Amino acid sequence: MKAPNSFDGTQAHKLRGFIQSFLYSNSFLIGRAGKLTEPYLSNISNEDPSYLLSNWQLFETQLFTLLGNPNEVRKAEQELDSLRMKGSGHLSLYIADFRSLMSRIGDWGERAYIHVYKRGLASRVLDQLASYPGNFDTLQELMDITLELDTRYHERQKEKGGHQEKKPPVTGSHFSRPPQDSHSKRPDHKKNKKGKQFQPSKDKLHSSLLNMDNKLVGSEKERRIKEGLCTYCGGKHPIEKCVKRAPNKPE
């Protein structure tokens, strides 16, 4: 609750705002709390007003003393002692909870708060903090440094997630075999006793296309010339570029 500005009587135009601020906060007090201020408000023109109407801090203290939880400070101390930051969470949430509990406890001392704050940090933040030079004289300084480290950590996590290389899907055209029809014709290769297949010798196939003079038969030569094939080996290149043909060897 924010206390209203003080009023010293030199600026008369601020008097109404001051009274409205006090009465506004009092309008929310009902039941037992309302009975606390009722006798003072009914006698507001008293020449010697009570300290409740002249000191806002004492007014708040009186409310907490009469109506507040007597174990609130002890409960807040227990919650602060067990407060821990989540490993992958944001440090800002931990700081907000820490500050809230501090406001309910009071003054423990700077060193005590620094010790409790560091104890509740996630291990990843403590690891980064271990390499940071120097000591921290104030809790605010420690909070600022750890908040910067936590911000860098989450930025790096986003970068790693956005730059993960995705492997392209493997297409069947390069690695898979085309389906075979069970009724398709297959070469009828004979097998020996050990189960190995015999394939016709390339020399025998080539010799069947040669005549008695060991030259290519006319019909096969014409076919190769017509289809632009090598007249020596049957490859898709002119005979001049045939690597299988010996130099200056006739067709």
Please tell me which of 10-14, 108-112, 198-202, 219-223 the model is most confident about, judged by mean pLDDT.
108-112
Residues sharing a CB contact under 8 Å with residue 91, sequence separation 6 or more, in sequence order: 85, 121, 122, 125, 146, 147, 150
CA distance 25 to 44: 16
In tens, the pLDDT along 57-83 reads 666 666 566 666 778 888 999 999 999
Structure tokens at 102: 């501090």
Please give the radius of gyration of the chain, using alpha carbons only, rounded to the nearest integer: 48
pTM above 0.85, yes or no: no
Strand partners, 197: 191
What integer pLDDT is reported at residue 102 of this predicted model? 92
Q: How many residues does the chain have?
A: 251
Domain ranges across the chain: 12-67, 72-160, 204-241
Is 42 in a helix, a strand, or coil? helix
